[in-house]
Amino acid sequence: MATMDTAEPSRRDFLYIATGAVAAVGAAAAVWPFVDQMNPDASALALASTEVDVSAVAPGQIVTVKWRGKPVFIRNRTPDEMKKLAAMDAKSLKDPESDEARVKKGHENLLVVVGVCTHLGCVPLGHAGDFDGWFCPCHGSHYDASGRIVQGPAPANLPVPPYEYVSDKVVKIG
């Protein structure tokens, strides 16, 4: 039927094309629910925030909490660590970002980052590596105390999750 020699499409051709097009649209629309069902469901979305009391995190300490099934590092940096970070040149980094941009005003010592290596998803070790930040044992990425990638295969800094201080002591992640 497709190789008919008529110059202009006949009524018959139009009917075949219309039927095929409508069937194709229907099939495409029917696929969506089967794809969308694998997205996070309503109960998973509802659990997307976690509240943490950060007053108990001592200087130098890293606390790991779970948020959306992933570890989140909360690190209270010491003045010494802050000094070292201030001395670093953010522009020379692979993923240039200043430390101030990664913390909340008034709580500069407190860093909150998602504890998942941006290379292939392993959990980096705290207080380790050449820059006294984090070190990923899987493929050797070194992060500084701001969670920024300094050396190794990881392409980006440890991401900062959306969070806010609901009071001076409590942080709400998500």
Partner 1 sequence: MSGHSTYTPSNGFTRWIDERLPIIRLSYDSFVAYPTPRNLNYWWTFGGILSMMLVVQLITGIVLVMHYTPNTAMAFASVEHIMRDVNWGWLMRYMHANGASMFFIAVYIHILRGMYYGSYKAPREILWILGVVIFLLMMATAFMGYVLPWGQMSFWGATVITNLFSAIPVIGDPIVIWLWGGFSVDNPTLNRFFSLHYLLPFVIAAVVALHVWALHVVGQNNPAGVEVKSEQDTVAFTPYATLKDSFGMAVFLVFFCWFLFYTPNYMGHPDNYIEANPMVTPAHIVPEWYFLPFYAILRSVPDKLGGVIAMFGAIAVLFVLPWLDTSKVKSARYRPLFKQFFWILVIVGCGLGYLGSQPAEGGYVIASRILTAWYFFHFLVILPVLGLVEKPKPVPESIMADVLAKNAAH
Partner 2 sequence: MTMILSGSKLGRAVGAALLAMGLGFAAAPAMASEAAHGPKVEMQSWSFAGPFGRFDKGQLQRGYKVYKEVCASCHSMKLVAYRNLADQGGPGFTLDQAKALAAEIKVKDGPNDAGEMFERAGRTSDRFPSPFANDEAARAGFGGALPPDLSLIGKNRAAHRGGLSFMADPFTLYAEAGPDYVYNLLTGYVDAPHGVTCDGALQYNQSFISGSCIAMPNPLSEGMVTYDDGTKATVEQYARDVAAFLMWTAEPKLEARKSTGLKVILFLIVLSGLLYLTKRKIWANVAH
Catalytic site positions: 139
Question: Which of partner 2, partner 1, none interacts with 41 (beta carbon under 5 to 8 A by kind)?
Answer: partner 1
Please report, to the nearest 10 degrees, the dihedral formed by the alpha carbons of residues 165, 117, 136, 72 taken in order.
20
29 binds partner 1 (CB under 8 A): no
Count interface residues toward partner 1 (CB under 8 A): 12
Q: How far apart are CA 166 and CA 112, in angstroms?
A: 15
- Cβ neighbors of 163 (< 8 A, separation 6 or more) are 104, 112, 171, 172, 173, 174
Name the burial class of residue 39, with classes exposed (0-12), middle (13-18) and buried (19+) by CB atoms within 10 angstroms of its CB: exposed
Interacting residue with partner 1 among 27, 29, 38, 87 (CB under 8 A): 38
| Segment 5 to 24, residues that bind partner 2, using CB under 8 A | 12, 15-16, 18-19, 22-23
> Which of 31, 56, 86, 166 is close enough to bind partner 2 by CB under 8 A?
56
**CA 15 → CA 5, 22, 25, 170, distances in Å?**
17, 11, 15, 66
170 near partner 2 (CB under 8 A): no
41 binds partner 1 (CB under 8 A): yes
42 binds partner 1 (CB under 8 A): yes
Other residues' Cβ atoms within 10 Å of the Cβ of residue 111: 24
CA dihedral in degrees (41, 43, 48, 50; nearest 10)?
Answer: -160
Which range in 33-41, 48-56, 58-66, 112-120 contacts partner 1 by CB under 8 A?
Answer: 33-41
Residues that bind partner 2 (CB under 8 A): 12, 15-16, 18-19, 22-23, 26, 29, 42-43, 46-47, 56
Residues that bind partner 1 (CB under 8 A): 1, 23, 33-34, 36-39, 41-44
